[in-house]
Amino acid sequence: MTQFMKFIKYYVISMRLHFGFITAIAGQIGVSYYQYLFPEETISLARRIFIITVLFLAYGINQVINDYFGLPEDRINAPHRPMVQGNLNPKLALFTSVGLMFITGLLSFFFSPWASLTLTIGVLLNILYEYAKSISLLGNLIFGMSMLVCPFYAYFLTGTQLPESWGNVVHILSIAFPIYTTGLMTYYTYFKDYEGDKKQNKRTFIVTYGIDFAKKAGIAFSVFPYVLFMFLPTLGIFKWQEIVNNSAFIFIFVLSLFLQLWTASLYYNHPTGEKTYFNLETNIQSCVISLLCVLALIDGVLALYLVPICYIFIGFIFKFHNDAKS
């Protein structure tokens, strides 16, 4: 195997592409939202493919950046990762990721300067996340905010018009829910990182309060947004009539609640050890299905199609990452 092909192989492994469905679906929310607001505009297939492909790969490209800045704890938490083992040159991998993001930013600028700006904000938030991770739940919040960049990036790439109002349920959930559900996804990933984070003095919520309390808090965190959603009509945020006839949303809403509770139970029962790593598959699946709740409010048919596609292919790709120490 040539050095170039070896680099490509281990770079792609480090991208951990099963995570890419998170950013891709978040981006699809932005694309579908634009079409929801301005149905008279025609969006070319080439543009749609470009947007979703960029966002699918963006998570992995940023994963490599995170691996570079997280090398000290990864030597404990994930000693078999290519960068830790020396199979992937850290500086060359970082340069490649930065270069790819720069090229993507330039291409995005030709479509929309606003899209290029949101992409830049996303990269900066991703870098900030590595440092914010040391402060309890702040890292989860920063990560969620970086994921929120995805629907905005996709929206600005799709077209140039802005919504007239930000007051309906679609607007609210499109902003708030991706932050929470992606932040919760990273919360669970910290269980497998507990030992390394503790030794590197990264004061995540789990390190600060201990595994026993954190696994119980995970159950509460998993149901909180769903309980809050049930009370929003009483606050006048929206009316039940806006969603009761949306069978796609109701189905995915119930499915996502089940998956979130399932994920919480998996980490409750296996907060440490090898099984903690394999909980990640369900964790990612539940995060993506939760994001599809928002998409279902905009395009229920598309959301229903994407549920089995995402669920199956996340599991399929994850099977290629079956080393618990990576």
Tens of pLDDT along 235-251? 666 666 667 667 898 89
The pTM of the full predicted model, rounded to 2 decimals, is 0.92
Distance CA 7, CA 294 (A): 38
Tokens for 296? Answer: 């279902």
Phi-psi region of 112 (alpha: psi -120 to 50; beta: other; left: phi over 0): beta
Q: What is the pLDDT of residue 242?
A: 66
Residues 6 or more apart in contact with residue 4 via CB below 8 angstroms: none
* Nearest CA-CA partner of 264 in 145, 326, 181: 181
Q: Which of 9-18, 21-30, 84-93, 224-233 has the lowest mean pLDDT?
A: 224-233
Domain segments of the chain as ranges: 3-318
Q: Which amino acid is at 246?
A: N
Contact 30, 158 (CB under 8 A): yes
Distance CA 25, CA 37 (A): 18
Q: What is the pLDDT of residue 236?
A: 65
Q: What is the pLDDT of residue 20?
A: 96
- Burial readout 31-56 (b: 16 or more C-beta within 10 A, e: otherwise): bbbbbebeeeeebeeeebebbbebbb
